[in-house]
Amino acid sequence: MGPMKKALMVWGGWDGHDPKNCVDTFVPVLIENNFEVKVSNTLDSFLDVKELESFNLIVICWTMGTITPEQEKGLLTAVKNGVGIAGWHGGMADSFRNNTEYQFMVGGQWVAHPGGIVKYRVNIIDKQDPITKDIDDFDVESEQYYLHVDPSNNVLATTIFHGTDDIFWIKGCVMPVVWKRMYGKGRVFYCSVGHTAKDFTIPEAKEIVKRGMLWASGSII
């Protein structure tokens, strides 16, 4: 199995995204995959770069928050120097709306979820990548995230927007749902499914996030 790895999971921000329960869903998953897991609910966890760089993986689950320049610098420095980072939904792509360098690292920023809770399909477009290999397309009933995304992302899954009466102009738009990318030496993984812990009762969604965390940590190539 190899040497034990270390993960830091940081949750907080808007309660509507069920951050603690989402993180609690994946703590045992990481432990089962040979991780020592530290869970924190303060962004001060990002201040000590030396300690931060002792982790193989950071999982962020923090929506609509405010991060200080010192906290942001610690996080970005650690990832740039090789610590993997992973997250989902608004817990990663709507964390700090004023922080463009953080958004540059993530590879996208949430801007809308037309129709609120809707039924939509996730289409796996890369069936060879270890994160999505052998996973079939699947249906979700949740928020369908419209994001502003970085064209340098390595997109693994997408969804199609059907538009609504008041947001008709996006009909047919193909939007990334799952991607991976680099930020300096750090591996970055994101999945837009995960509005609440209920989304992770969908086996495909939970498996993709599990594999994404393992990929970000360097556990799988």
- pLDDT tens digits for range 159-209: 999 998 999 999 999 999 999 999 999 999 999 999 999 999 999 999 999
The radius of gyration computed from the CA coordinates of the chain, to the nearest angstrom, equals 16
The two three-digit tokens of residue 63, written as one number: 């929506």
Q: Which residue's entry shows tokens 């060879």?
A: 128
> What pLDDT was estimated at residue 221?
82
Question: Which pLDDT band holds residue 1 (cuts at 50, 70, 90)?
Answer: low
> What pLDDT was estimated at residue 2?
74
Architecture in CATH for domain 5-217: 3-Layer(aba) Sandwich (3.40)
> What pLDDT was estimated at residue 103?
98
Q: Distance of CA 144 to CAs 12, 39, 151, 161, Å?
A: 22, 28, 20, 8
User: Could you tell me which residues are beta bridge partners of residue 59?
Assistant: 9, 86
The H or E element that residue 182 is part of is strand 174-183
Q: Note whether 139 and 168 are within 8 A (CB).
A: no
> What pLDDT was estimated at residue 3?
87
Helices (H), the chain: 19-32, 49-52, 69-80, 89-93, 100-106, 203-217
Residue 51 sits at φ, ψ, to 5 deg, of -65, -40
How many other CB atoms are there within 10 angstroms of residue 7's CB atom?
24
pLDDT tens digits, 4-60: 999 999 999 999 999 999 999 999 999 999 999 999 999 999 999 999 999 999 999
